[in-house]
Every structure is written in structure tokens, then in C-alpha cells.
């Protein structure tokens, strides 16, 4: 199946994709995608159209020798090379402009103050810290709609990839360092998120839910999260074990899959980065080539 056909099918079958954007970043990515596709079609479509005709026109008709009369044509040379050269030039300009415009480190323009979130990738779950609220959640990224989301990311293990297709952009999270991502949702909704970087046998289950809420719903959720048990040493030890969120819920004796923490150490994100940066590679990671 051609890639473009696959994209078009995905955009209409309920799968989260930037072709059905739910935020300003994904909307810009969709516009960029269609511009590049249209420009590439200027080169690809004539080739796809003319190739069958040329095969038919100059096919072997049996017996007759084909002796073309070669001659240099400046007009044809200019026509053949100027088109692709122009397309490449325009593509380069578009890529330069949109790469700058879609810089994941660049804050989004908005009248609202961004919500700060710190994301830590574990094997195989995501921990979301809300440093200004003193709460945390596992595999649930809750935030107000129509308000920028400022996410600082790191990994407590190997390199991971943070991706919410409907909101746009993907960025890596690496142990011992931090990266940044700025997103926003246009309206309340639920969007699938995932780690798109292979990091072991539980990789395919390392998914999370990004939930955009109205302001009142988010404030109610934050108050509810604040009543949950604190993220203490025992919970941190359980977080560090390999396993998905349901395994963590059983280890913490939580009912259901909602895992919230009402108290978070102030320096937890920095501590994870520091400990990961100086930690030796585990034997099972070396054996797996990670």
C-alpha cells in the first residue's frame, strides 16, 4: 500500500493522526505535509503518467531498427532541469521555515500561561509530574484545553520517544538530560499517546492517554489527585521495576488503573536525571544491546 494511501485511510478510521489535528502544532504539520505532497506531485505525476506512454510508444514492433537522430536542444535542457531545480529550491525553503516554526523547544504563542509538566519515561510506563501543583499521575496526561502545555522530558532508563499524534510533534527523552515539547489542544478531548522508540519487550504496551479538559474539570481533577497517597520511596521503587501501569497498580494495591500521587518530592525530576546519568548500564540492557 502506498504511504499516501495509508495516511488517507488512517485519517478517516478513528486513528489519532496529525491529518485530523486537534491542536495548533498538528494543524501546522498537516499544512506542511500537504504542501510538500503537492510539490512532489509536480515531479512524480508526470513521471508516473509518461512512463507507460513511453513504454507503449517506443515498444518493439518487430524487425524495424530504431535509429534516433540525436541533437542538442537548449530549450529542452532548460525545461527538463529548471522544473526539478525550482521544486527542490521551494522544498528547501519550506523545510527551513517550518522546521523553525515547529521547533518543539519554542513556546507557543498564547494569552494563557502554560501548564508545566515533567514527563519521565520508565519501562514501560510514563510518570507525569505537575511541579506547580505537587501532584503526579502514571500514563495519564491531564491538562486544560486551549492552554499551552510545556513539557520537560527525561528517561529513567533508555532512550524513549514521546508522541501524541493528534496534537503533533514527537521528541526523544534520554537519560541524564532533558528535552522540551510544547503542545496545545483546541478543545476538550481524549488523545492517544505512546512511546514510539523500541525499549524492550513491553514496548508495545507503553501507551498513555492525553486528556484535555475545560478549566473547571481540570481543577476538579487536580483536587482529586491531591487526595491520593504520596509518591514515597516505596512507590518510587515500584515505579522503577519493569512493568506496565497495571503491574504498578497491583504492586501499590490500587483499585483500577488510575494511578495518582498527591505528594511529590520537589527535586524528583532532577534526581532522576542525575541518577540515570551516572548509573552503569544494567546487565540485561547490555545483553539486549540497549
- For 276-289, what is the HEC assignment? HHHCCCCHHHHHHC
Rounded to whole angstroms, the Cα distance separating 181 from 128 reads 14
pLDDT tens profile 15-52:
688 889 999 999 999 999 999 999 888 888 988 999 99
- Buried/exposed 18-33: b ≥16 CB within 10 Å, e otherwise: bbebbbbbbebbbebe
pLDDT tens profile 98-130:
888 889 999 999 999 999 999 999 999 999 999
User: Taking Cα atoms as reference points, which of 107, 177, 106 lies closest to residue 148?
Assistant: 107
Rounded to whole angstroms, the Cα distance separating 147 from 127 reads 21
Percent of the chain clearing pLDDT 70 (strictly above): 90
* Stretch 64-77: mean pLDDT: 83
Cell 502544532 maps to which residue?
25
Amino acid at each position: 500500500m502506498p504511504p499516501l494511501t495509508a495516511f488517507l485511510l488512517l485519517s478517516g478510521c478513528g486513528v489519532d493522526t496529525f491529518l485530523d489535528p486537534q491542536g495548533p502544532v498538528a494543524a501546522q504539520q498537516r499544512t506542511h505535509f500537504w504542501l510538500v505532497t503537492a510539490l512532489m506531485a509536480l515531479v512524480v505525476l508526470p513521471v508516473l503518467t509518461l512512463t507507460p506512454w513511453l513504454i507503449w510508444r517506443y515498444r518493439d514492433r518487430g524487425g524495424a531498427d530504431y535509429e534516433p537522430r540525436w541533437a542538442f536542444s537548449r530549450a529542452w535542457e532548460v525545461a527538463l532541469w529548471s522544473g526539478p531545480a525550482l521544486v527542490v529550491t521551494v522544498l528547501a525553503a519550506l523545510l527551513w521555515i517550518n522546521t523553525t516554526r515547529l521547533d518543539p523547544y519554542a513556546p507557543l504563542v498564547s494569552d494563557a500561561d502554560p501548564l508545566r509538566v515533567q514527563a519521565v519515561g520508565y519501562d514501560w510506563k510514563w510518570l507525569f509530574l505537575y511541579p506547580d501543583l505537587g501532584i503526579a499521575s502514571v500514563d495519564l496526561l491531564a491538562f486544560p484545553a486551549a492552554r499551552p502545555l510545556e513539557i520537560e522530558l527525561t528517561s529513567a532508563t533508555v532512550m524513549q520517544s514521546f508522541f501524541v499524534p493528534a496534537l503533533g510533534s514527537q521528541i526523544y527523552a534520554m537519560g541524564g538530560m532533558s528535552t522540551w515539547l510544547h503542545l496545545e489542544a483546541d478543545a476538550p478531548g481524549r488523545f492517544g499517546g505512546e512511546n514510539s522508540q523500541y525499549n524492550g519487550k513491553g514496548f508495545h504496551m507503553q501507551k498513555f492517554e492525553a486528556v484535555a479538559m475545560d478549566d473547571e474539570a481540570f481543577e476538579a481533577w487536580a483536587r482529586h489527585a491531591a487526595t491520593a497517597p504520596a509518591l514515597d520511596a516505596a512507590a518510587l521503587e515500584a515505579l522503577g521495576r519493569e512493568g506496565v501501569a497495571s503491574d504498578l497498580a497491583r504492586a501499590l494495591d490500587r483499585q483500577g488503573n488510575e494511578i495518582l500521587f498527591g505528594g511529590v518530592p520537589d527535586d524528583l525530576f532532577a534526581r532522576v536525571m542525575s541518577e540515570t546519568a551516572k548509573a552503569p548500564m544494567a546487565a540485561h540492557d547490555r545483553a539486549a544491546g540497549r
